[in-house]
Structure 1
Amino acid sequence: MAANGECLEYEVTNRGAEAVDVSVLFGWSGGGERLSDNLSAVQRALAPGASVRGRLPLAGPSGSSRPVPGVKVVKVRSVPTAEAPSTGGACPASGVRVYADRGDAAMGLRVVGLHLENCGTAELVLDGYPQVQVLDEAHAAVTGVAVLEGGAAIATGTGADAPARRFTVPPGGRAGSALVWRNTNDASSDPVNAPYARVRATPGAAPVMVTPELDLGTTGRLGVGAWVPEGP
């Protein structure tokens, strides 16, 4: 990674065994001119063993003599391209899009919405809860976390309290769920920080890996709301 007054150049390498979508968050290191905003970059379908170079413009007019900002890598996240969430573009082969929003955090309570869109041509029947598996930075399953049905298992009033019910999502229709947890800590165990969650909309559905950044503290509990219709 290198920065000058006009741009940030970086290189990403996939050291895994499958194609991945990689996102990198850059921030101010405390040296030089402060960045006006954190910068992010995404590289999609990076093949195993492959490297790719990228460039991001920095704020300021071209050719100016502004000081070089101090930039550091804040966070790197990757998901298998075959499991990458999508909010638009071509419809996945499954006919269903699943993705997570940026969530809300207040007073140690976290809520991240899960969203489903039926972009296929057939109706989709939902009856229950998405299946969720908590994963660490290496995409390995995290043990010792209780995945509970219903957001009320963690806190009420989050919008994820409705009981499960059967309904049909027509082509073009949407549904929503939510992940709910608390970031509370005591001396009982080590805190759990798990960036990823593998989500299946129904038991037989293809998995989608989202990045809710689960800072579960020492509670080790994650509530999952039932699917409910979303939008008109």
Structure 2
Amino acid sequence: MRGVVGGVVVAGVVAGCSTPPAPRAAPGPTLGPQVRPTPNRSSPAPDPTPDDKCPEGGVRLVETGGDAAMGLRVEGFQLVNCGTEPYVLEGYPEVSLRDGRNDPLDVTVVHGAEGITTGVPNIEAAPERVTLAPGQAASWSVVWRNLVTDATVTATTVPVLEIAPRPGAPRLWLRLARPFDLGNTGKLGIGPWAAVTR
């Protein structure tokens, strides 16, 4: 290989300036423009909010992780008060489940775990009033079964979560790191708001 390279260098020197320089290497592939999912016209998804900027409503939705065992799924979330005023929550968030194009999915959302499972305290707890000072957070959880009982019904996967933390509040959108794999159960159970104690 060194002999080949040396020959190329000598040839270039002998030819002088009359020989054009060797062509430059072709540029590598470049990333094209990012394609965003087409939002539902009635409820368009807003642009993602940077982590260092508080959303319009003064709160931020955060996915905290969950557990999966024998087809039963539990996933947790927190609502963080990133604003400057106290934020009052009561009862349950209003939840809408979306597909990859941000269109609504036909899934029944129920309060609690009835018809899904039993023995999940944070899902089956009684609702309570929670007041978040700036910097504080409230938690809530969801539960479902990844179960396919009818091969003729397409299994549902939920990649996007939309919630209203309280009536009349700006809605929050979150693209899930762990999409909900509902099978064809068509049901999701949600728990009430609970104060996060540190």
Tell me if both proteins adopt one fold, taking TM over 0.5 as the criterion: yes
State which of 161, 180, 184 in structure 2 corresponds to 1:214. Answer: 180
The answer for the alignment partner of 2:161 in structure 1 is: 197
What is the number of residues matched between the two proteins?
Answer: 163
State which of 170, 177, 180 in structure 1 corresponds to 2:140. Answer: 177
The answer for the alignment partner of 1:112 in structure 2 is: 75
State which of 122, 130, 142 in structure 2 corresponds to 1:167. Answer: 130
Report the 3-state secondary structure (helix = DSSP H, G, I; strand = E; otherwise coil) of the residue aligned with 2:189. strand
Q: Contact 1:152/1:160 (CA < 8 Å) preserved in 2?
A: no
| Alpha-carbon separation, structure 2, partners of 1:196 and 1:107 | 24
Q: Which has the higher strand share?
A: 1
Mapped pair 1:92 → 2:55: yes
Q: Contact 2:141/2:190 (CA < 8 Å) preserved in 1?
A: yes
Mapped pair 1:140 → 2:106: no
Could you list the runs of 5+ residues in structure 1 that have no partner in the other structure? 1-8, 20-78
Q: Deviations over 1:51-81 (max 9, x none)?
A: xxxxxxxxxxxxxxxxxxxxxxxxxxxx945
| Alpha-carbon separation, structure 1, partners of 2:143 and 2:32 | 32
Q: Say if 1:180 and 1:168 are closer, same or farther in 2 by CA, change over 3 A.
A: same
| Alpha-carbon separation, structure 1, partners of 2:98 and 2:57 | 23
Larger Rg: 2
Q: Say if 1:17 and 1:228 are closer, same or farther in 2 by CA, change over 3 A.
A: closer
Could you list the runs of 5+ residues in structure 2 that have no partner in the other structure? 1-28
Q: Say if 1:163 and 1:169 are closer, same or farther in 2 by CA, change over 3 A.
A: same
TM-score, normalised on structure 1?
Answer: 0.62
Q: Contact 2:95/2:163 (CA < 8 Å) preserved in 1?
A: yes
- Tell me the CA shift for residue 109 of structure 1: 0.9
Structure 1 segments of 4+ aligned residues over 6 angstroms from their partners:
none
Q: Contact 2:37/2:100 (CA < 8 Å) preserved in 1?
A: no
| Alpha-carbon separation, structure 2, partners of 1:97 and 1:214 | 20
Q: Say if 1:170 and 1:138 are closer, same or farther in 2 by CA, change over 3 A.
A: same
The answer for the alignment partner of 1:14 in structure 2 is: 34
Q: Say if 1:177 and 1:151 are closer, same or farther in 2 by CA, change over 3 A.
A: farther
| More contact order relative to length (CA 8 Å, sep ≥ 6) | 2
RMSD (Å) for aligned C-alpha atoms:
2.7
Q: Contact 1:85/1:208 (CA < 8 Å) preserved in 2?
A: no
